[in-house]
């Protein structure tokens, strides 16, 4: 792809990200779960926006999982355990400008299956 096309893709994702984040706000009892997916890995973190603190996080690279649906389910399982250890059972899902499809949807569905309410 040319630089012009890549820049356009970045602008459109930033626009979607702002639109999604306009209605989402995390607090300590119900944090925002933000998902980031690169071409190779998947990352997620639970954020308390009121205090500006990350409560829990998971790194697919450190766990040795890639960026596909099966690995997203395993990453979500580990993340759900981390959330439960911190006493969090309910979260707000922030898809971070990505479409709710594929890896992002598999991650969210697996969180639900592991007892986290979205």
On whether residue 101 sits in a domain, the answer given is: yes
Q: How confident is the model at residue 22 (pLDDT cuts 50, 70, 90)?
A: confident
Q: Which pLDDT value is given to residue 23?
A: 85
Task: Say if residue 118's pLDDT is above 80.
Answer: yes
Q: Which pLDDT value is given to residue 107?
A: 97
User: Which residue segment(s) compose the domain that 39 sits in?
Assistant: 3-113
Q: What is the mean pLDDT of the chain?
A: 93
Q: What's the CATH code of the domain at 97?
A: 3.30.420.100
On whether residue 94 sits in a domain, the answer given is: yes
Task: Say if residue 28's pLDDT is above 90.
Answer: no
SS3 (DSSP) at 55:
strand
Q: How far, in Å, CA of 111 to CA of 118, rounded?
A: 8
Residue range 102-111, pLDDT digits in tens: 999 999 999 9
On whether residue 118 sits in a domain, the answer given is: no
When pLDDT is averaged across residues 93-102 and rounded to a whole number, the result is: 92
Angle between helices 103-113 and 69-85 (to 10 degrees): 40
And the tokens for 110?
Answer: 């697996």
Q: Which pLDDT value is given to residue 24?
A: 87
On whether residue 86 sits in a domain, the answer given is: yes
Task: Say if residue 30's pLDDT is above 80.
Answer: yes
Task: Work out how many domains the chain is built from and give that number.
Answer: 1
* pTM tops 0.85: yes
Torsion angle of the four alpha carbons 35, 1, 102, 61, in this order, in degrees rounded to the nearest 10: -50
Q: Going edge to edge, which strands form the sheet with 53-59?
A: 53-59, 42-48, 32-37, 92-94
CB atoms within 10 A of CB 108: 21
Alpha carbons within 13 angstroms on the beta-carbon side of residue 42 total: 25
């Amino acid at each position: 792809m040319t630089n012009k096309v890549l820049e356009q893709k970045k602008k459109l994702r930033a626009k979607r990200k702002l639109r999604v984040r306009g209605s989402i706000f995390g607090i300590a009892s119900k944090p925002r779960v933000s998902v980031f997916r690169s071409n190779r890995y998947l990352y997620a973190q639970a954020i308390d926006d009121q205090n500006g603190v990350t409560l829990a996080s998971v790194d697919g690279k450190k766990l040795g999982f890639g960026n596909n649906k099966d690995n997203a389910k395993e990453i979500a399982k580990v993340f759900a355990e981390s959330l439960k250890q911190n006493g969090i059972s309910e979260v707000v899902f922030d898809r971070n400008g990505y479409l709710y499809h594929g890896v992002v949807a598999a991650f969210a569905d697996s969180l639900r299956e592991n007892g986290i309410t979205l």
